[in-house]
Amino acid sequence: MRALITSVRCGDFLADTLPAWKRLLGDQLGVATSPEDTETQAVCAKHDVKAWVTDGWSRIAEGHIGAIPPTFNMPLGLDEAFGFRPGIRDEPADGELCLSLNADVYPFGNVPKEDAIPTGTMAGWWRYECPTPTDLDQHCNGRKGLHKFKRMKNSGGRPVGYAQLFRYFTGFRFGSYGSAAKYDIHVFAKFPRLEMRDDLYLFHLGGPEGGRQNWISRCVPRWRAA
């Protein structure tokens, strides 16, 4: 598996989520970030996780959709950090399992075995609102049950961009967009089967506030006090 957490100006979230994902994914995990995001790079170094650095977040590629210059071209950055576009790493093997994650989602449970995800399937997991670090700590320590947290809506109950698991096929691209909005639902058309799984559940750190604005640029307050 090739797994990537996107963290551009989200090193504060990554400080909590990276060690949790590393426990599940080990050396299959990397982080996609930008040259100027030294906080994210420092978090990666602390946890011995490879940072794949690209400036694709501010550039465009063929077939670009939306604003020029882009405010946050998340799909192009992902394509380069995964190796879907040539430049900073080798292309995945045809059929290799790929997992795209956001820095503000924290996992509970187990990643499925590789043979559980057939070719042509895009899978994901449900997420729950986690407004504060105290809420996360209390759940991790067993003092606040999952029933206390609100499950968030998805785009028609489909695996959207905060967590998308699929098998790479030659020529696959997330694309090039003016912001992080909509690219993740446009890739649905590339997969004949969509699946929401229950072997993991995710906490969306900070709750739902600011989500849409973050498609353009990081705007939510810091997760934990410095």
Output the average pLDDT for the chain.
Answer: 93
- The two tokens of residue 31 are 């982080």
- Rounded to the nearest 5 degrees, what angle is found at the Cα of 58, between the Cα atoms of 37 and 130? 55
Domain ranges, ordered by start, for the chain: 2-215
Whether 134 and 224 have beta carbons less than 8 Å apart is answered as no
**Backbone angles phi and psi of 134, in degrees to 5:** -60, -40
Q: How confident is the model at residue 212 (pLDDT cuts 50, 70, 90)?
A: low
Largest interatomic CA distance in the chain: 50
Pairing of strands 29-33, 2-6: parallel
The span from the CA of 65 to the CA of 73, in Å, is 10
Is the model's pLDDT at 8 over the cut of 80? yes
pLDDT (average), residues 36-58: 97
Neighbours of 170 (CB within 10 A): 10
The span from the CA of 92 to the CA of 83, in Å, is 7
Type of residue numbered 113: K
Enter the DSSP assignment of 33.
E
Whether 37 and 7 have beta carbons less than 8 Å apart is answered as yes
Q: How confident is the model at residue 226 (pLDDT cuts 50, 70, 90)?
A: low
125-139 pLDDT per residue, tens: 999 999 999 999 999
Q: How confident is the model at residue 109 (pLDDT cuts 50, 70, 90)?
A: very high
Q: How confident is the model at residue 209 (pLDDT cuts 50, 70, 90)?
A: low
pLDDT (average), residues 8-37: 97
Closest residue by Cα to residue 4 from 18, 15, 160: 18
Q: How confident is the model at residue 215 (pLDDT cuts 50, 70, 90)?
A: low
182-196 pLDDT per residue, tens: 889 999 999 999 999
Q: Respond yes or no on whether the N-terminal peptide bond of residue 70 is cis (omega within 30° of 0).
A: no
Is the model's pLDDT at 49 over the cut of 90? yes
3-state SS, 90-117, equals CCCCCCCEEEEEECCEEEEECCCCHHHC
The span from the CA of 158 to the CA of 177, in Å, is 20
Task: Assign domain 2-215 one CATH number from 3.40.30.10, 3.40.50.300, 3.90.550.10, 3.40.50.2000.
Answer: 3.90.550.10
Is the model's pLDDT at 153 over the cut of 90? no
The span from the CA of 56 to the CA of 76, in Å, is 6
